[in-house]
Every structure is written in structure tokens, then in C-alpha cells.
Structure 1
Amino acid sequence: MTTFDTWESYFYPETYNRATGEGTLRNLFGERDAGVLHEKEYARTRRRQQEIRAGLVDIPRTFDAAHLKALHSHIFQDVFEWAGAYRTVDISKGSPRGFASVKTGEIDRYLRDVHTMVAGIDWARMDHTSFTAMSARVFAWVNQAHPFREGNGRSSKLFMEHVADLSPFCFEWGRVDVERWNQASMLSGPDMFAYEPHPEELYEVFGTVAVERGQASGPLSEELEQLRSLTSTSYPRSAADAARNPEPDASGTTAAGRGAYGPDRGLGDGMER
């Protein structure tokens, strides 16, 4: 069994570029080509997601860390040895603050907060406005926890679908384009040195994707789903690299804290990953 305890250890050594912090993640296919890996991963994880959505998998809906781990474990069981296991390294996507630190127990803290939020709300009695606000809040905490090295987007979306099942609403993720979703997700992160995320940055996108259950238009075609997945990949990088090299904004300058936005680096996940 491989030990994953450093940023580099997640990659095949012969594919890893120390200058960029990028490479091909170790995988159960033994695939060294990142593009080919993406195609294989997509095919396997799509089927596993369908199994969950069809109710063919017994995943206790406890709305906590165990729930999220079980989702991730099932989705990625064919792809990564560490499916369902917390990441062991800090990562960042667009902001030097980074996601929950593995050194301080922040991942579990955020997910305990998530459980408290979900359990303390009467979801069945919500109108669209209140559902939008509360689901955005839950997702902001789940997203900031970002517990896995890869696949947070897919496991988080299924987690939120389970939350929505408690309410009169469901999510149609395709109503929001990838760039808009990723921008809102990035802006929802905490300020530098702060703990609490900014769920208000997600209100607009959640208001768009949340629809009354009877009005749902059904899933996208397989072709559209695949196209959206292939165009949605963004790349997390190590928190240390993010702190050393803040991402440039549209004008070419860099910014620290909330509002820093640019393409992420490394092999990782975005809205559909």
C-alpha cells in the first residue's frame, strides 16, 4: 500500500514536475497519461454516481463526515487507492487562505458544523428563498472542508442532493455554467486568517440551480454531461505554492485573500470533478 503523506507522494514520480507541482495522480489503472486517466476516471465515476442516484447503494444519510466519506469511497473506488480517505496535504484553489488545514483538524470541524446545520433545520417547510440561503450555507462549509485530494466537487454535489431530498426542491446543476460556479465557490471561502466562509457569494448560483421538485427538467443527456465535465476541470495546488505565488487576476496583477481569481494548477477538481 502506498503512503500518501506529502504533496509529491500523490503523483507518479516520473510524471511529477517540481517546478509546477503538477503530474499524474497515482491511480488503480496504473495510467501515467493525465488525459487518458481523466477519460477512464470519468467513465468509472459516472457509473458509480448513477448507482448512488438510483438508490442501489446503501449510504446512511447522516449528513456528516462519514456520509461524505461514504459517497467519495463509492464514487472513486475504481480509481484511487485513497477513495473515501481525507487528504493528508493542504491545498488551495485561487486564494492563499486555502481550504481546511489538515494540521489543525479543520476538516472535521467544518463537517461537524455541517451536521449541526442540516440537523437543526426543518427543510420540508422551506420556501425557495430560505432553501437557497441554507443550502448555500451548507455547501460553503462542505466546500471549505474540501476533505479529499481529488473528487470534492462530485462527492459534494451528491451530498447536497441528499440534503435537497429533505426539502421540496432539487438541484439542476446544469443551469449554471462552470466559470460562474467556480467563481462563486472561490469567493465563498473565508478571508485570510478567518474561519467562517461567505455563503452569500453562493446565493445567486444556488437560487438558479434550486428548482421545485415537480418542475425539474430531468438530467442532461450523456453527451452534454460529458462535455460539461471535460470543460470543467480546474486544478488545485499545494497551499504552500499558493502562498508563494498568488494567482493573477484579469488585469495581470495579483491579489491576496478573497477576490484573488485565476486558473488553478495541478491535477484536481472543479465544479464537475
Structure 2
Amino acid sequence: MPDRYSYPNSLVLINKLGITDYDRWKAVETAAIHQRMVELTEHPIPGRFDLAHLQAIHRHLTQDLYVWGGDIRDTDTHPGGTGIAHCRPQFIAPEAERVFDALAARDYLRGLDADAFSDGLAWVWGETTAIHPFRDVNTRSQHIMFNQLARDAGWIIDWSQIPGDVFAHARTLAIVEDHSGIDALIRPNLHRLGDTSTLTV
């Protein structure tokens, strides 16, 4: 819905290019962010897999489009059409600290077998989905960071076998139920790094 991030009476987010037509904006945004995702797949941003790391990734992905890249949102958001609320803005930082501290305590899921890694990744992905730190481009930022986390732990996910809409639904369910739906999609498509050279961004 329209808010301070969007043009008046419009769903188009205020952008550096001054684009106000919805279809053109979506096309330009998709292309620009995809190119930045390719860059980060090839040259990951170093970090501790925490909120600051996710902010740096988001800032890189959105640098061509939004002045608020990397900034924590200050408005309420909901997964499209669900009526489910994401984390309120004032709780984003402490919730992120809780989640990413737990991830660090598990040594960023290193040294685990496939079942344990998939379950751990699904949990942190579901929690981060609920936090939803940014006004937009959360999914793509999480995708980059958690693929990087997987590779650092010695795993690769074959995204060609996971439909985007199905994964999005599983992430939404993780907000109100649990992360089992994410786990069910990741686990059969999880490979030891070196077993496959395919990574679809």
C-alpha cells in the first residue's frame, strides 16, 4: 500500500530515476537488482551474517534505485495480500540481534550434516522473513546472504528446482507457523559444494 516510500496515490516506490509508471518501474528495478545480485554472487560482501551484513547487501542491490538502501524501514509492512504483519519497526534491531546471535552461537551452521544444516538455515531464513528489515527488496537481499552463508558452510542450493512462488509461500508460513516448509524445499536441493556447479540467482 502507498506510504512515505511511494509516490502519492501510487504503488511505485520513489526512485532515483524518477520513474512513476508501475510497469516500467518494475522492469527497470528487476533488471538493475538482478545485475547487482550477479555481482554479489561472484564477489560476496564480507560480513558476519548479521543485520549489518544484510544492510550492506541491501545497500549494494538497491544503490541504483533508492536513497534508503540499507536503511531499516520505519513503516509497518505485510506480505502481499495476506494481512500478516511483519515485525514492527521498533523491534527490528533487537529481533535481528536475537536471531543472528543464535546463528553465530551455532557457528554459522558450519560442520553440520545436510539435515541439520537445512533445518538451521530454514529457521534463520524464516525468522529473517518475519523481521523484514527493509521497505522492499528483502527477499533478494536474504537470498544473497543465505546463499553466501550456505557456501561458507560448504553447501550449495539448486534453486532451479525450487519455484519462487512456492518458496515465497513457505517463507510466509514461517511467520505464522514454523520453518518446516522452507526446510522441505531446501533439503532435497542441497548439495555439498563441489557436487554441482549450478547456482541460479
TM-score by length of 2: 0.90
Residues 151 and 193, structure 2, Cα contact 8 Å, conserved in 1: no
Q: Computing the radius of gyration over CA atoms, which structure comes out larger, 1 or 2?
A: 1
2:130 is the alignment partner of 1:149: no
> Displacement, 1:217?
4.2
> Displacement, 1:187?
0.8
Match of 2:142, SS state, is helix
Q: Distance in 1 between matches of 2:88 and 2:101?
A: 20
Q: Distance in 1 between matches of 2:129 and 2:189?
A: 17
* Gap runs ≥5 in structure 1: 1-5, 17-21, 192-197, 226-273
Cα deviation per residue 1:21-40 (whole Å; 9 max; x = unaligned)?
x5211111100111111111
Match of 1:235 in 2: none
Question: Please, which of 85, 93, 100 is the counterpart of residue 108 of structure 1?
Answer: 93
Match of 2:147 in 1: 161
- Residues 87 and 209 (structure 1), Cα distance of their counterparts in 2 relative to 1, 3 Å cut: farther
Match of 2:41 in 1: 53
2:11 is the alignment partner of 1:12: no
Percent identity between the aligned chains? 25
Match of 1:113, SS state, is helix
Match of 1:202 in 2: 182
> Displacement, 1:61?
1.2
2:173 is the alignment partner of 1:187: yes
Residues 72 and 151, structure 1, Cα contact 8 Å, conserved in 2: yes
Q: Distance in 1 between matches of 2:188 and 2:168?
A: 14
Superposition CA RMSD, Å: 2.0
In structure 1, what residue type is equivalent to 2:3? E
**How does 1:1-273 map onto structure 2 within 5 Å?**
7-13=2-8, 16=9, 23-55=11-43, 59-93=45-79, 94-102=81-89, 105-122=90-107, 123-190=109-176, 198-220=178-200
> Displacement, 1:95?
4.2
List structure 1 runs of 4+ shifted beyond 4 angstroms: none
Q: Distance in 2 between matches of 1:217 and 1:114?
A: 30
TM-score by length of 1: 0.67
Specify which structure has the higher proportion of helix: 2
